[in-house]
Amino acid sequence: MRYPWNSTRRFNAYSDYFRALFGERIQKITINAGFTCPNRDGTCGWGGCTYCDNRAFIPSYAVPGKTVEEQINQGIRFHQKRYRKVKKYLAYFQAYSNTYAPLEELKKIYRPALDHPDIVGIIVGTRPDCIDDAILDYFEELSRTRYVVLEYGIESVYDRTLLRINRGHDFAASVKALEATAGRGIRTGGHIIVGLPGETVKDWIEEAGILSHLPLSNIKFHQLQIIKGTVMAKEFLDNPGDFTHLGLNDYLSIIADILERLNPKFIVERIAGEINPGLALTRGWGVRYDEVLRRFENVLEVRDTWQGRLYEVKS
């Protein structure tokens, strides 16, 4: 059976999308360009989101003391050890809020990636309160000739959760930013955390229906991973009953429930995340992402389900 995304896989997978778009596998290179966040410097809040510590997921080659070009070249060497056939890459500006600077400064930061012969596009991770018309004008023009994604940290569609995790904006801000970005023809990405405190399985499944009607191109799902030293780590130790422990099998079942209701047009970049295990407060699943993905596809096959099977189109 072939699904609406012209593949036999049961979800609209990122890797398949890139093979179709570029004719080959494309690998992301993470870049830490030394940005900060308006939720850390007092612009909209202090201390950042309660779960956040960028050290947990930034690779060793991506440190702000190195230039963007140095990080790209080291990232290429890093990935070539595992993916020998990969020739082209995406520059992923990931750490903190990567549009949080004046536009002329942003252009200088992105330029080494855009000029690199092995980079075919850029992905810029940011927050919905870190864009304006001038920044969108720039990305609109850039996206006419390059593969460009503005990736927003949505994290949750529930304002009570966003307040609790000190996100510094509400869900309406995410909707507004996504609509403004997509309205200019710029690809949009969204990041969602499954397992945030105070939320339930019912919340996560219903969230899929809400997300499905956003103007998203790509979407990522990560399980909540509690990092040592964060505000959330203290919250977890003080009130563990506020958190839902999700073993791998339970998590994959929930993700299958979510994807069944998810817009089939959305390209699914990830269904889970990985962090440095030395920084994790709680034990992980003990398997790498490739194995998580393999088991997830087996869940879909056993259930004979697929992305969008229960998707409800708005009338």
pLDDT band of 174, cuts 50, 70, 90: very high
Ordered by start, the domain boundaries in the chain are: 14-303
pLDDT of residue 102: 95
Task: Name the pTM for this structure.
Answer: 0.93
Residue owning tokens 């304002």: 159
**DSSP string covering 238-278:** H-GGGS----HHHHHHHHHHHHHTS-TTSEEEESS----GG
Percent of the chain with pLDDT over 70: 97
Q: Is the pLDDT confidence value at 269 over 80?
A: yes
> How far, rounded to the nearest angstrom, does the alpha carbon of residue 101 sit from its chain's CA centroid?
21
Question: What is d(CA 241, CA 245) in angstroms, rounded to the nearest whole number?
Answer: 9
Percent of the chain with pLDDT over 90: 74
229 DSSP 8-state letter? T
Mean of per-residue pLDDT scores for the chain: 92
Residue 294 φ/ψ, nearest 5 degrees: -60, -45
Question: What is d(CA 14, CA 297) in angstroms, rounded to the nearest whole number?
Answer: 14
pLDDT (tens digit, 9 = 90+) per residue, 176-223?
999 999 999 999 999 999 999 999 999 999 999 999 999 999 999 999
pLDDT of residue 92: 96
Say which CATH superfamily domain 14-303 falls into.
Aldolase class I (3.20.20.70)
pLDDT of residue 85: 79
The 119-126 sheet, strands edge to edge? 26-31, 88-93, 119-126, 147-155, 187-194, 218-223, 267-270
User: b/e per residue, 190-222, with b = 16+ CB within 10 A?
Assistant: bbbbbbbbebebebbeebbbebbebebbbbbbb
Contact 132, 70 (CB under 8 A): no
Contact 79, 85 (CB under 8 A): no
64 DSSP 8-state letter? T
The tally of CA atoms less than 13 A away on the side-chain side of residue 68 is 23
pLDDT band of 56, cuts 50, 70, 90: low
The burial class, CB within 10 Å (0-12 / 13-18 / 19+), for 160 is exposed
Contact 32, 94 (CB under 8 A): yes
Question: What is d(CA 228, CA 119) in angstroms, rounded to the nearest whole number?
Answer: 34
CA torsion through residues 213, 214, 218, 222, sign: negative
Q: Is the pLDDT confidence value at 58 over 80?
A: no
Neighbours of 132 (CB within 10 A): 11
